[in-house]
Chains A and B, each alone.
Chain A
């Protein structure tokens, strides 16, 4: 396959993260290519978010290697990750509720005037431009984001990621808090970003979302990566079985699969 010969945008090798005695992520290796969406699924506490926090710098791994464009790199904090154009949209959105949309979009990366002051005008202007693309109905450029709807807040969080030329985008449950129309909007956006060559890690509970958008699907179970499958090679039921049993379909016994059938 052509994809295999290209250099992955990021490669995580044998990543381990432990909280106390619990192995939240236990030797996971995963990679991501340009223009590819890799879905990450698994039950609660399977380690999806923790694995992604290792990549976003929010919680650096205890051991393992992260390669960016083939080069081993250390990502010790969120600033490092952003330097490698790895942007994250957190499940909580991670917005400062008390400041406005431009302030949030540029938080930590403010545009300054040559006098060393915040260039509010330039930041608002840039925010208006990126919002025109993400959510043309967006109008609240001066109000604190606390006053906004879930969809608008999501738009601010996404704007923050895409404005800075993300090459790798981590989206943690991007549609969990959204209504149907806004969910459709986010899906369109994911396809659009993918076409622009951005690699996306998509964490989701919604298996249909994942099947709809992903090229490959990684299934996690109790901190381990059960396997990465190409979407075209499996059915949603196969993935569901992997999530619940923690085994690849071919490894599961007939008995286990039969129990699943009964259960569902």
Chain B
């Protein structure tokens, strides 16, 4: 079983998406083959590297983790999907060389800054459309609200249980041990909604206040 993780965040080691992928990786430890991790690029001239595309194309299961950007996939991840799709056209031109007979099983872990995981719904639909168009096998998604808060509070047993249970569903499905449904699993922070809204409004108010004081980004030395 070959597994490939796609980290759709550009936040590097700080990325919540990477945290979720590593947590999933620890659950897949029974599988001797370590997953390949492909991280999207900030500025890509031409296409993503052949190695990245080959790692994705050769996988039996692909897990795509990403933060919600403007209610959809980040532009960088959209680009990787475009390149992935283009690789099918290339393979067809090369008379089927390297073409996927069955298509990989695709899972998604989407996290957004909003309290309600339902905000991720359209982004998940985009991935389903991608699978439909390229012949990949869509499985299911984990939809996480307040992703950064879930990461920060992941040591709290209730949160850890909810997250681990959701990730275990993906791990079991990858390893062929699951008989669960394919509906989206929602993981939300345990803070009440009004607390989340208050925190958000406070942060927005502080940001607005800082805007008046802070320097222009163009004046910050590069």
A binds B: no
Give me the interface of A with B, judged by CB distance under 8 Å.
none
Give me the interface of B with A, judged by CB distance under 8 Å.
none
